[in-house]
């Protein structure tokens, strides 16, 4: 007896494509599946949905599949796809938009470590005006791996410190208040 393939239960939402197009300003409807984006993407082999398929899923309104994919978090925003698209679709910008929608709708990221690193990086800049690597790595590792992660970091941290790669006292910037204003403005926009 042959095994019966169980197909995923897909629930298309036509408004999803409109939302992504309106927020990103990109005409995803124009994609005709030439695959130039996927063929040029350096990370396509690590993605669960390749870029051209992701565009198709957005056209079909497959919101859950798109927002829960690893692809949107693996994308490095290198823009190779955007420069190759014959329809001028800024795919990297679409990826940014998808991450933003997922974040705003509290959808758990399939690559949890990526938004945690973004948060630790931006948090450090917000506090000091520029990134302080030691603080960023500690905040990221603790959120990602808890105490076990911090213990694993000890030897690595000591080596980095001895080589002068991590400073004990962080350096700041003069325009710290301007940077805080930028953060405030971007939070208001969101």
Alpha-carbon distances of 30 from 75, 80, 120, 148, rounded to whole Å: 21, 18, 37, 48
Q: Which is nearer to ligand SF4, 79 or 104 (CB)?
A: 79
Say whether residue 166 binds ligand SF4 (CB under 6 A). no
Say whether residue 41 binds ligand SF4 (CB under 6 A). yes
- Tell me the two tokens of residue 105: 């709708």
Say whether residue 31 binds ligand SF4 (CB under 6 A). yes
Q: Which is nearer to ligand SF4, 68 or 143 (CB)?
A: 68
Determine the angle formed by the axes of helices 113-128 and 133-162, rounding to 10 degrees.
90
Q: Which is nearer to ligand SF4, 66 or 95 (CB)?
A: 95
Say whether residue 122 binds ligand SF4 (CB under 6 A). no
Nearest-angstrom CA–CA distance, 117 and 123: 10
x/- letters, 62..101, toward ligand SF4 (CB under 6 A)? -------------xxxxxxx--xxxx-x-xx--x------
Which DSSP category does 15 fall into? Answer: H
């Amino acid at each position: 007896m042959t095994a019966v393939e169980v197909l995923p239960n897909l629930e298309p939402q036509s408004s999803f494509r409109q939302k992504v197009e309106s927020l990103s300003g990109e005409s995803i409807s124009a994609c005709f599946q030439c695959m130039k984006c996927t063929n040029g993407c350096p990370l396509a082999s690590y993605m669960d949905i390749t870029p051209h398929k992701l565009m198709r899923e957005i056209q079909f309104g497959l919101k859950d599949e798109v927002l829960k994919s690893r692809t949107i978090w693996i994308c490095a925003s290198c823009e190779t796809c955007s420069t190759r698209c014959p329809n001028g679709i800024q795919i990297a910008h679409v990826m940014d938009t998808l991450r933003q929608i997922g974040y705003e709708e509290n959808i758990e990221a399939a690559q949890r470590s990526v938004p945690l690193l973004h948060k630790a990086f931006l948090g450090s800049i917000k506090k000091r005006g520029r990134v302080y690597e030691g603080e960023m790595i500690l905040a990221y590792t603790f959120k990602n791996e808890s105490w076990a992660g911090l213990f694993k970091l000890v030897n690595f941290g000591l080596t980095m410190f001895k080589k002068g790669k991590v400073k004990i006292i962080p350096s700041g910037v003069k325009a710290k208040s301007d940077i805080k204003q930028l953060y405030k403005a971007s939070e208001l926009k969101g």
